[in-house]
Homo-oligomer: A and B are copies of this chain.
């Protein structure tokens, strides 16, 4: 894996950025302001880091016009420096080559179909009637059950499980330990014992979704659990059966969504937030980290219920006063 090199002029042209300074400067990588060297490109998106401009040794920066006034070096100027930096950084991402073909240690059901241009890695298994489409990459140790579809150019990094009836659109990326299509948690109490409610639905994942490490998405009871296109889930998230998540919604780590809830498009759900079951959340709703949504939300906006930590003795006193509220006349 040789280091690729681009001139600043090439980068400006490729991504439609305004070049200020030396078009011929060679860029061999990207880095933080604090660590970049003269051949590396840095970026400034968050004004908080503007004070680092004075000390950076970066060869050039991606930044906004207003910030560029404080920077005498070479620059790529753009309204949205973080997104542009992301696209430039992708040029420098080392990617292991995936050879098409099925590793000899993989176990493929006789009636599964693997596109000749797909890759199935070591110790992977693909179950009955499942299909792996063109350009898909199934990493080592993945277990794909029956009746699944892995769409074109999907990447299952390693040790991903698709249990049954899981259909992935194109370019879906799933990180290790994620489990899609396990039984939803359906129980009925009958004569003092639990009866399992069969989970007959599947999971449908739209194009360009990303699913984090050890995240779980259960299959539906009667109909499917659904992620629309471009949904982005971080690690350790739990999506219960029959949840529907609208396009372009992103969730930070450890969020839990209970069964049959419907979340809108362009929502942002903060880390470790909880969403109760059987509710609806409108488009463009932001839920703050560690908050608990118990009712439907019908208007866009920011919602929260988390309590910031403070000195434990002070917090204990606050709790005591809070409990005492119960016993005082209404106020």
Segment among A5-13, A68-76, A112-120, A212-220 that sits at the interface with chain B: A212-220
In the complex, chain B residues whose CB is within 8 Å of the CB of A164? 96
The smallest beta-carbon distance between A174 and chain B, in angstroms, is 10
A264 close to B (CB within 8 Å): no
Cβ contact within 8 Å between B315 and A309:
no
Chain A stretch 138-159: residues in CB contact (< 8 A) with chain B: 139-141, 143, 145-146, 157-159
Q: Which residue of B lies closest to A123 (CB)?
A: B123
Segment 98-120 of A: residues with Cβ below 8 Å from B: 103, 105, 107
- Report the interface size for chain A: residues with CB under 8 A from the other chain: 123
Complexed CA–CA distance, A288 and B139 (Å): 39
Q: Is A89 within 8 A of B192, CB to CB?
A: no
Asked, given contacts A105-B105, A326-B317, whether A222 binds B31 with beta carbons under 8 Å apart, the answer is yes
Which residue of B is nearest A92, CB measured? B200
A130 to B: closest C-beta gap in Å: 11
Chain A residues numbered 315-331 whose CB sits less than 8 Å from any CB in chain B: 315-319, 321-326, 328, 330-331
| A93 smallest CB distance to B (angstroms) | 4
A225 on interface, CB distance cutoff 8 Å = no
Cβ contacts under 8 Å, A314 to chain B: 326
Q: Which of A220-242 contact B (CB under 8 A)?
A: 222-223, 230, 232, 234-236, 238, 240
Whether A103 lies near B92 (C-beta < 8 A) is no
**Contact A89:B312 (CB < 8 A) given known A188-B82, A331-B324:** no
Contact A187 B141 (CB under 8 A): no
Nearest Cβ on chain B to A228's Cβ, whole angstroms: 12
- The verdict on A122 contacting B107 (CB below 8 Å), with A295-B308, A303-B310 known, is yes
Q: B179, B248, B328: which contacts A177 (Cβ < 8 A)?
A: B179
Q: Which of A159, A240, A286, A328 has the most CB of B within 10 A?
A: A159
* Smallest CB separation, A103 vs chain B (Å): 7
Q: Which residues of B contact A140 (CB under 8 A)?
A: 107, 125, 143
Contact pick for A197, options B86, B295, B305, CB 8 Å: B86
How far is B175's CA from A213's CA once the two chains are assembled, in angstroms? 15
Does A23 sit at the interface, judged by CB under 8 A?
A: no
For residue A322, which residues in chain B have a CB less than 8 angstroms away from its CB?
Answer: 318, 322, 325
Minimum-distance CB pairs A-B, first 7:
A83-B190, A83-B188, A302-B312, A107-B122, A182-B213, A161-B176, A294-B308
**Would you list 29 pairs from A and B whose C-beta atoms are within 8 A, ordered by A residue?**
A80-B188, A83-B189, A86-B186, A89-B198, A89-B200, A92-B200, A96-B146, A105-B107, A123-B143, A125-B141, A145-B158, A159-B159, A161-B177, A175-B182, A177-B177, A185-B252, A185-B253, A193-B208, A194-B250, A272-B272, A302-B312, A302-B313, A304-B312, A304-B315, A305-B307, A305-B308, A318-B322, A322-B322, A324-B331
